[in-house]
Structure 1
Amino acid sequence: MSNLLTLFKSIDNVVWGPPLLILLVGTGIYLTLRLGLLQIFKLPLALKYLFSKDHEAEAEGDVSSFAALCTALSATIGTGNIVGVATAIKAGGPGALFWMWIAAFFGMATKYSEGLLAVKYRTVDKNGQMSGGPMYYIEKGLGNKWLAKMFAVFGIGVAFFGIGTFAQVNAIKEVAKDSFNMPIVATAVILTVLVSLVTIGGIKSIAGVAERTVPFMAVFYVVGSIMILVANASLIPQTIMLVIKSAFTPTAAAGGFLGATVMKAIQSGVARGVFSNESGLGSAPIAAAAAKTKSCVRQGLISMTGTFFDTIVVCTMTGLVLILTGAWNSNLEGANMTSAAFKGGLSIPMIGQMIVTIGLIFFAFTTILGWNYYGERCTEYLFGIKGIKPYKVIYIILVASGSFLKLELIWVIADIVNGLMAIPNLIALLGLSGVVVAETRKYFKILEEEKIGRVESIKG
């Protein structure tokens, strides 16, 4: 096992080396500049759209824009927000949180572009369901079918071996064992049955669960985090200073922390940030393509809020609690580190533990559902609707077996397939950036003309 882990770590270091980090963040920077800092100036409008309808009864699509976003968030707000942040800070020190923020800021422009292109180039499959995402905008926009197929293959790989199954199942198993003393076999059986029941119903069933669950679980977790931050408010300024200082200077070894270079902080922060918010990965646009909307720009703006909520809000809460309580330099790792931080941050430790336990179970479960859908759409693209049933069977088998794998190997495999999936998508985003800019300008020009028209009619 140690030789296998060493091999996968070597592959991971190559995949997540400087070229991919530069491509990921560089694509976000490039799109940010071309779109005129859209993630700053248009965020209020995006949040407004999130809670208003786009005459959806008349629009094409399978689910509402809000449900599509919740489906995407169900896949992004997962173990990355609890386990992934802990793993990033454990490896790269407090500075990793800063680089998660940077990756998320530029990732918002990336996520906007992905959502826009997903709706612009979406199509309808033989079951009458919307199909869209990078495989379609790569094929129809870039005109490159082999690159589209490469993305779909890696997408199935991430669903099977990355974010979709093993990392989530393992996290649920660990927290159920620690908090409820539940046998691993029992966890595997219950989880497999629940996933099977929901995923059989397809996107409408998954979106229905996500629409009800995601807002509740996010608010529950954030409120719990705020309670700890308020209780330790005097430590917040020095915690933020430590995060910023550690982002640009090596972090010395302390306690259970082995020390980290600036490069390690950047690598850990960006890699785990992408694992969490999936900006540039190409997954969220698959859900965005199912939205009932008439405008690709409007859906792009709504998609952009996903990265904001996931990393700028939820991951920040976890990171600050981990650093503020000192749990980051303990001998613990993963969910156990986060659980210890929440227990230590509140006067009643049991409440802190339950926040992490319930949050992690909900986060991980909905991520499994969201990635089931992503992998299904990639399978449909490659093999047609006949491939969907075999895909679901394999997915459910992998969910059932995920409880019995080692944590470190799981995260390394997840990192590798995530990186491979991102490459064709980022190439497409750069190649189609002109389309994104043109659609954006056209949309806001129409909005401005409508605004002027309303003003003139009032004056008249």
Structure 2
Amino acid sequence: MKQLIKIFSDYAWGLPLVILLIGGGLYLLILSKFIPFRYLGHAIQVLRGKYDDSNDSGQISHFKALTTALASTIGMGNIAGVAVAISVGGPGAMFWMWISAIVGMSTKFFTSTLAIMYRGKDSTGEIQGGPMYFIVEGLGKSWKPLAIMFSLFGMIGALPVVNANQLTQAINDIILIPNGVEVGLKSNLIIAFILVIITSIIILGGLKRISNAASKMVPSMVLLYFVLIVFILISNYEVVPKYFYIIFTDAFIAGNYKGDSFLGGVLGALILLGIRRGAFSNEAGIGTAPMAHGAAKTDEPVREGLVAMLGPAIDTLVVCTLTALAILVTGVWETTSNNGVSLTASAFSYTMPVYGKYLLMVCVLVFSVSSLFSYSYYGTKCLSFLVGANNKHYYNYIYILSIILAVTTPFDMMLNLIDGVFALMAIPTMLATLIMAPRVVKEIKEYIKRLG
């Protein structure tokens, strides 16, 4: 099974998908004449609530929509995903994650603008947004198979298997094993049971409870993580410029890449690794974030697109870069065979030997638990589209059971599963976005006129 899932993931992440995600994102960037980037300041004003109107259609504020989306993207992709990228690809992998994020900002703008432009209604009449709705509402009923494809794979992609797996690994490596507790199936099942209880309390309360929890947890967890990483960088300040420089040079020579080649060489493989880990981290082009942003209280699609665009910047350009530099400047990427969250824990222990790994544990706990809340919302929306909103609660039971599966399964198997499914979610999302991109450009021009 492990080998089959790896073959599936590698096949899904072939050259066509890379062209679709990165080539498509660059096309959107050029088509919009970089306008979204020129309105970054305005995006922050929108996020702060300057243009909020309680009479607008939707369910949650711009800020809660962004934090709900960030609660899923700022998760183990930033701690474990970056560690995987560096342990396999070396420092250069981070450069290609940056490229993925910059292109991804444009993609997120377009997909989330479309999520508001073409909102649909579920079977109960509630306004909804997301790729499955903008495909049907924007392209017509004949395109519904593409929307069904997104929803089917979206239910699998939303399962919390990577987060639950890495949270369990962190608890085992940081708390239980150092204190002489024997870890195995029994201890993992106890952790799973506790996670199931916490997750159930939040997700069975619906979007309002999820967004409220996320809006409180996300800003605080980013701030705590930022402070801890800055302390690590200050403690190792003399090598920070060196490794920052190596990120750029290694990106084009792939001198530290340890995996299989791609397109006949290691550089192609390093680029693919960076894009893949970037996509796992910020989810630009995958289609998850538009489901959260599609629920925002606004009648101005461009505003929500601008807010959504901030996601990859916060997630990959800031949080992932901090993790990468912490792993690099402490040297643990060369001195230990650890992978995933354990490698990041080694970096924290190197600088803060006594309490570093416990502080990371707090971050991991908040990152993972907030992600558990948000992903369940995405899965219920996908099931709701397929079989009606009255049946969407059934997804939560599958979701909760998958936590038990995740904590008893190897990490690389879970990572490859979600990687592969994300690739198949990106196909309908990006195809529909590229087809409707000129409509978004027209909407941008009209919005700028109204703003003036």
TM-score bracket relative to the smaller structure: over 0.9
Greater CA drift, 269-278 or 4-13: 4-13
Instruction: Give distance in 1, aligned partners of 2:75 and 2:48.
Output: 23
304, 320, 326: which one aligns with 1:321: 326
Q: Which residue of 2 aligns with 1:133?
A: 130
Q: Which residue of 2 aligns with 1:158?
A: 157
Deviation at 1:392, TM superposition (A): 1.3
Structure 1 335/135 Cα, relative in aligned 2: closer, same or farther at 3 Å?
same
406, 428, 431: which one aligns with 2:432: 428
Q: Which residue of 1 aligns with 2:164?
A: 169
Deviation at 1:433, TM superposition (A): 0.4
Deviations 1:339-388 (A, max 9, x none): 001221x2x32332123211111111111111100011111111002321
Q: Is structure 2 residue 3 aligned with structure 1 residue 6?
A: yes
Greater CA drift, 287-296 or 324-333: 324-333
Deviations 1:112-142 (A, max 9, x none): 1111010111133344543110001111112
2:243/2:325 contact within 8 Å kept: yes
Instruction: Give distance in 2, aligned partners of 1:145 and 1:126.
Output: 16
Instruction: Give distance in 2, aligned partners of 1:235 and 1:258.
Output: 26
Q: Which residue of 1 aligns with 2:25?
A: 28
Structure 1 441/5 Cα, relative in aligned 2: closer, same or farther at 3 Å?
same
The correspondence of residues 26-425 of structure 1 with structure 2, limited to 5 A, is: 26-127=23-124, 129-143=126-140, 144-160=143-159, 165-181=160-176, 183-252=187-256, 261-329=266-334, 330-344=336-350, 346=351, 348-425=352-429
Instruction: Give distance in 1, aligned partners of 2:355 and 2:267.
Output: 35
1:250/1:259 contact within 8 Å kept: no
Secondary structure at the counterpart of residue 415 of structure 1: helix
What is the identity, as a one-letter code, of the residue corresponding to 1:362? V
- Runs of 5+ unmatched residues, structure 1: 449-460
Deviations 1:202-258 (A, max 9, x none): 1001001001000000111111111111222221111011111111002147xxx67
Instruction: Give distance in 1, aligned partners of 2:311 and 2:62.
Output: 12
2:406/2:414 contact within 8 Å kept: no
Structure 1 177/129 Cα, relative in aligned 2: closer, same or farther at 3 Å?
farther
Secondary structure at the counterpart of residue 277 of structure 2: helix
1:252/1:259 contact within 8 Å kept: no
1:123/1:132 contact within 8 Å kept: yes
Deviations 1:387-423 (A, max 9, x none): 2122111111112332111111111111110101111
Secondary structure at the counterpart of residue 247 of structure 1: helix
2:22/2:100 contact within 8 Å kept: yes
Q: Which residue of 2 aligns with 1:454?
A: none
Structure 1 62/180 Cα, relative in aligned 2: closer, same or farther at 3 Å?
same
Deviation at 1:176, TM superposition (A): 1.3
Greater CA drift, 238-247 or 398-407: 398-407
1:62/1:129 contact within 8 Å kept: no
Deviation at 1:196, TM superposition (A): 0.6
Identical-pair percentage:
37
Q: Which residue of 1 aligns with 2:184?
A: none
Greater CA drift, 57-66 or 323-332: 323-332
Deviation at 1:146, TM superposition (A): 0.8
2:120/2:134 contact within 8 Å kept: no
Q: Which residue of 2 aligns with 1:458?
A: none
Instruction: Give distance in 1, aligned partners of 2:227 and 2:44.
Output: 20
Instruction: Give distance in 1, aligned partners of 2:56 and 2:151.
Output: 27
Deviation at 1:70, TM superposition (A): 0.6
Deviation at 1:194, TM superposition (A): 0.7
Instruction: Give distance in 1, aligned partners of 2:430 and 2:259.
Output: 34
Instruction: Give distance in 1, aligned partners of 2:345 and 2:126.
Output: 40
Instruction: Give distance in 2, aligned partners of 1:322 and 1:411.
Output: 20
2:71/2:374 contact within 8 Å kept: yes
Secondary structure at the counterpart of residue 350 of structure 1: coil
Structure 1 250/126 Cα, relative in aligned 2: closer, same or farther at 3 Å?
closer
> Could you tell me the TM-score, scaled by structure 2's length?
0.93
When the two structures are aligned, how many residues end up with a matched partner? 436
Deviations 1:72-95 (A, max 9, x none): 000100100000001111122211
Instruction: Give distance in 2, aligned partners of 1:289 and 1:252.
Output: 41
What is the identity, as a one-letter code, of the residue corresponding to 2:62? S
| CA root-mean-square deviation | 1.6
436, 441, 445: which one aligns with 1:441: 445
1:114/1:300 contact within 8 Å kept: yes
Q: Which residue of 2 aligns with 1:452?
A: none
2:20/2:430 contact within 8 Å kept: yes
Instruction: Give distance in 2, aligned partners of 1:351 and 1:43.
Output: 38
2:74/2:315 contact within 8 Å kept: yes
Instruction: Give distance in 2, aligned partners of 1:258 and 1:383.
Output: 42
2:293/2:304 contact within 8 Å kept: yes
2:276/2:419 contact within 8 Å kept: yes
Instruction: Give distance in 2, aligned partners of 1:188 and 1:127.
Output: 34
Structure 1 224/128 Cα, relative in aligned 2: closer, same or farther at 3 Å?
farther
1:206/1:369 contact within 8 Å kept: yes
